[in-house]
Each structure stands twice: as C-alpha cells, then as structure tokens.
Structure 1
C-alpha cells in the first residue's frame, strides 16, 4: 500500500461494506421470508430459508448457559475482532491480500456479533445443496469470513513460495 491513510481507508471501507451487505440481506430476510419457509431460487440447489441461530457455527453452543454463551459468543469474538482490527491498523508489513482478507473477516465477524448483541441470535438464510457439496444455512457475514480466510490462506501460500524461491536463489 502506498500510504498509511490509503491503507486505513481500504481497511475501513472493506469492513463497512461487508457489514452493510450482511445487515441489508438480513433485514430483507427478516421482512420477506417466514421462519423455515423454503424459497427455491435455483431448484433444490440454492434455497432461501430463514432461521435464527442462537449458537455458533451450525448452531453449536445453542444449549450453553447464558453466561457461558455470552462469554463464548459475544465476549471472545468481540475481543478477537478488536484485536484483528488493531493488528490491521498497526502492522504496516501486511500485504494487500492479507489486508483485504483480514478486513473481510473483521467485517463478517462484526456483522454476526451485531446480530447477537441486538437480537440474541444470528439470522441465517441461504442453503446450497449441490449433491456431494452441501452447506448448512448461512448468511453474508459467514461468506465474508470464508472469503477472508481463503484470501489469508492464499497469501500464506504465495508468501511461502516467495520465501522458497529466495532460499533456492541464495543456495545457487
């Protein structure tokens, strides 16, 4: 990134856009889809349905005590998102791919965290079933986290290959 200001603008722009897309799609789902209604967008392959997830990934932790649930589903993710945001802002050595990936993760994480704080659960509404590949019901924030994770992994792979090339060149 050329300047620190541009880097910070990029970080916050990505985070805000991810939160915005997530919240707009959730508001639409809350208003236009009944609970457990099944809307076939592309046959049985892409289905819209609305569920409220009071747990974490695929509902895990739904049955925890309220105190433990608050710690694990509000406190811990809040600390992680804040830590990632600080890391993004402070670490000037991050590649553009890492900045974008981590910003997607923070945006998605904040989107779901916002729901948990405001509604006590997260609205999920998309299900994909391609036969061998089938998802649980998810939302735009989950997609943001997955895209961000993929970008971070890609960046690690590319960086590792660059380090290997440098080591091989040094041996020659």
Structure 2
C-alpha cells in the first residue's frame, strides 16, 4: 500500500512541476518572440498570440489595489492556500483517483502565476480565443491548467462523485 501511495505522490508532484515548468518556459519565451501588446493571429482571428502584463488577478481585477493589499491578496493568501492544498493532497489517504490530479493542475498553475507575481509584480498573459460571440480574456498556460483542474472537479461533481477533502 505504501508503494502505491508513493507512486501517487510521485505523479502528483510530477504534474505540479511539469505544469510550473511549461508555464514558466512559455512566459520566458513570449517576451522574446512577441512585442508588448502585439496581436499575432495564429488560427485566423480565432486564436491570438499577444503579450500583456497583468498587474491584477483575472481580467485585471485589483490592479489598482494599494501595494500592501496586492501583496496580501495576490501573494500571501494564494501562497498559504496552495501550500495547504498541496500538503492535504499529498498526505490525505484514500482520495478519489481523479481528485489529486485535478488539484495538481490547480496547484501547478497557481504556483506558476505566483512565481511571476512575487518575482515581477505582474503575470505575463499571451493567449486569447475569439470564436464568434465567445471571446476570452488574455490568459497563459497557468490559467489553462487551473481551469483544467477546476473543470475536472466540476465534472466529478456533476457525475455525483464524492469530493471529500
């Protein structure tokens, strides 16, 4: 049983680290290849590559907060919550098989954006999707993995799976 739990922890940490690595690599590459605020159509005008710095949270929320409030709300609280979530995911026995992976995506993406917020005070965003009336905000790989994790959790909830954590 211990080897199975170790294997599960290995996969969880692997997903977290891979998510962080892909996110940081893409954020390192973007400023080298795309000028700030430049719009590059990749698939027609449906998938756009750009380069913006987001000093707030999702869609720029809180970018005008005072510096101390930004540090507490966008750095301190997420750091605490991600640490707790990672600890609980790694130490909780008998979790649903999908739940640790969903949390690993959320944790990895959260840490990826947190690294930027702490190191630079902003997050590099560079993707946008435009499909008819559907237009996303500008986002990055960390946002994709957090969304994937949340969608997995929502899917499990809709299917009636117990999500006790």
Query: Under a length normalisation based on structure 2, what TM-score does the superposition of the two structures give?
Result: 0.93
2:75 is matched with 74
Q: CA RMSD in A?
A: 1.4
Give secondary structure in 1 for the equivalent of 2:24: helix
1:164 is matched with none
Residue 4 (structure 1) shift: 1.1
Q: How does 1:43-82 map to 2 (within 5 A)?
A: 43-82=44-83
Give secondary structure in 2 for the equivalent of 1:102: helix
Segments ≥4 residues shifted beyond 4 Å: none
Give secondary structure in 1 for the equivalent of 2:49: strand
Give the count of matched residue pairs: 161
1:3 is matched with 4
1:135 is matched with 136
Residue 90 (structure 1) shift: 1.4
Q: How does 1:102-141 map to 2 (within 5 A)?
A: 102-141=103-142
Distance 1:77 1:39 in 2: 32
Deviations 1:30-87 (A, max 9, x none): 2111000011101110000100000000000000000000000000110110011011
Distance 1:154 1:130 in 2: 23
Residue 134 (structure 1) shift: 0.9
Residue 93 (structure 1) shift: 1.9
Distance 2:157 2:132 in 1: 31
Distance 1:160 1:99 in 2: 14
Larger Rg: 1
1:23 is matched with 24
Residue 100 (structure 1) shift: 0.6
Gaps of 5+ in 1: 162-172
Give the structure with the larger helix fraction.
1
2:84 is matched with 83
Give secondary structure in 1 for the equivalent of 2:93: coil
